[in-house]
Structure 1
């Protein structure tokens, strides 16, 4: 906001993750603007109106209660309790009992009525594991309020008892404990991240070798090259994961490609955002920003995420 004015940027997002600002408007609360059709992009006309967002009101509805089941022998649950009496989240504290570092942990909360499930995953990489051997890891577990949307609005569900399942862990040597489906999904996501970072590293190193060009030209070349990184993960690479989990059903095997390519796209978007942040900082700084140093730092950070030694 700028005083009483609200700035509205109209952005287009493309399949290659490029974003383009096609218009910017400044409006006051209650003002409306009709946006003409964007025929070049097959987008019809539409209307934008600025409204005042209602402040968040604390929901007095009691939350579901969580209990815990641990399916991995190498993790010892030290503590699992609500952050405080009114909180919707729980605090989990576990110790790694194994002699190996843990890279990823999968937590899962099935719905008692099979209306949907929730969960979360946490991960690190070989240079910075999530839980080193013998160490303790703490995390917050979200536990939202249950209910359903009706014509009269949101109707809260009576509080229930649900179970947080410590479903699987993956070690730094590729071994796992717990549910093979969850472990395979973790490995597919790690694969998508790794192959994308490796492609990005090649491009970053290519940019680093272009010392004879102007920094603005190099960063523009790099941005266009990253946009062109494919989000597909080859079946050959996925077959390497599937072969390690022979008990997987056909449905789960098919879903691994989606997991890997979703991770690849997220990783690509992160690299694009890093480039955009560099361009923004270079624009704001009167002294400019050292492109060579930024490229070297970004390469080193990407190598960590790609588990490049």
Structure 2
């Protein structure tokens, strides 16, 4: 491609995950299947939590919002990805690329904050059970979720505003399957050092601060769980905590790998693999992890099936 200025760019070309023709159909089928599991599983969780009175608790309130965020991942990334995989339509408009970047990073920030809120909720439930109804009351849960969405919007708008004021003079071909920060910076001929500092600051404030909340919460939770005398109660507490930690480990591992590396170490092909974990794998696995390891969810599902028969 010939060099272009950002004022002349009306669309970008997304190369996708691979250009190997033999992999197009298998990838399409795999991503379509994961998309269906993500949508059906997370939508099912939301409906189940809204309709079953036994699940009207703060933990499941937060989990229903996490399920909604997982649905947003699929809605923003996978449809365009499926089209790119099976057809020659690789283009995305300038505004479409900006919107995809903005929504995607809003979702990432919201999920980071929701995972931290869920860890704090587990801490209160296990470490201070008598104060749980007072601390995690309805209005507090609402404000925690609303704050997560507000911070997510602020960070996403900041990223998008910085990125799309740069000049794209190298090319308009994005070596990725969606519009993300690293591949867009690779196209820019503007001085991005100051923006890399902004990325580091925002990621540090959001990801590292939420990780700190999670670690501190579990530093209190684990000793308290070990002191529980009832084997059944201890097993239930461990099951809930390990489900949450499995999601946290997968999600934060990929995020930190992506955004806390120096720009000189960026390898876009490696980034594609890393982003698969939190754009596709984690949203697909979330309902399975939280449902199959949770007796209350299983019981609610059986009650819902029983009402339909």
TM-score by length of structure 1 reads 0.29
Give the TM-score, by structure 2 length. 0.29
Query: Which structure is larger by alpha-carbon Rg, 1 or 2?
Result: 1
Q: Which has the higher helix share?
A: 2
**Per residue, is there more strand in 1 or in 2?**
1
Greater relative contact order (CA < 8 Å, ≥ 6 in sequence) = 2
